[in-house]
Amino acid sequence: MSYEEQIPDSEKVKIASSFILAAPAGEFNEVFNDVRVLLSNDDLLKRGAANAFSQYNKDQFTPVDVPGASHKTLITKHNEVQEGTFFDPRSGQTFSFDHLRREADNAQPGQKDAAETLRNAIDNAIRKYTENHYPDGVSAVFASTSGGQVTLAICIEDHKFNPNNFWNGRWRSEWTATFASSGGPATLNGALKVQVHYYEDGNVQLQTNKDVSEPITIGNPESAASAIIAVIEKAENEYQTAISENYSVMSDTTFKALRRVLPVTRSKIEWGKMFSYKVGAELHK
């Protein structure tokens, strides 16, 4: 009996799912195809790893064109109505989403939340903020009311995929708050994440995150939107600035301990223009 035959299907599915969930941004198809070859059982892969496909798309804030609308929304845990069905509050529709093909269809009228007026004001402000700060960014704002409490979720995603030059990257930020439906004090909690992968003749990954927590006051929709935008803009600007500064520090400290201070070009690496370098080729010299 071969070693492969000794591994039960449940363990194969577990291993395949772990590979899927660890796929770098923009490389789901490549990882899926590799896992498909390793498993050599399409039915088992699709049936057993279906939850991993779904979780990956929700974790990555996968953007999707909303059927019958001119905008995109995001696939997240916050707007999942049931498995494979999601809600777009901007258009007021539910739609089916294929987690393998990453396409939406079958749009149906949905039920907007009681806090729609507040949600819409924040959505408009976040959309303008995203357009001003993220070249290809997509944002979505979700609200749910229960027991006199409103739970708000703001999600922003932007990515740049350049497989021809062997690099991909994604930004995700998630902001949540729960407060009384009548308004008042609240805490806005943010989770900021950056994931970048360079893989020309090597494998260099950056995965970094930052948690933020700031007090806000929920008043009328316009003032609430302004307060939220102020917190988000300040925190995200500081985070991106800190990442850029860390690149400069790492060039003279961390990477100095790993390899020669100057590459063969005799010039310091400009981390802001990192995509123009053959990272893998340099690291293994």
Domains of the chain: 9-60 (3.30.1140.60), 61-112 (3.30.1140.60), 113-258 (3.90.1150.210)
Q: What is the pLDDT along the chain (285 residues), one digit of tens a residue?
A: 455 557 888 899 999 999 999 999 999 999 999 999 988 999 999 999 999 999 999 999 999 999 999 999 999 999 999 999 999 999 999 999 999 999 999 999 999 999 999 999 999 999 999 999 999 999 999 999 999 999 999 999 999 999 999 999 999 999 999 999 999 999 999 999 999 999 988 888 889 999 999 999 999 999 999 999 999 999 999 999 998 888 777 666 665 665 555 666 666 656 555 545 444 444 444
pTM of the shown model? 0.86
Distance CA 273, CA 95 (A): 40
Distance CA 146, CA 13 (A): 37
CB 8 within 8 A of CB 44: no
CB 183 within 8 A of CB 115: no
CB 39 within 8 A of CB 16: yes
CB 187 within 8 A of CB 177: yes
CB 18 within 8 A of CB 3: no
How many C-alpha atoms does 26 have within 13 Å on its Cβ side? 19
Distant-in-sequence, close-in-space partners of 156: CB < 8 Å, separation ≥ 6: 61, 126, 130, 134, 137, 138, 139, 171, 172, 173, 174
Residues present in the chain in total? 285
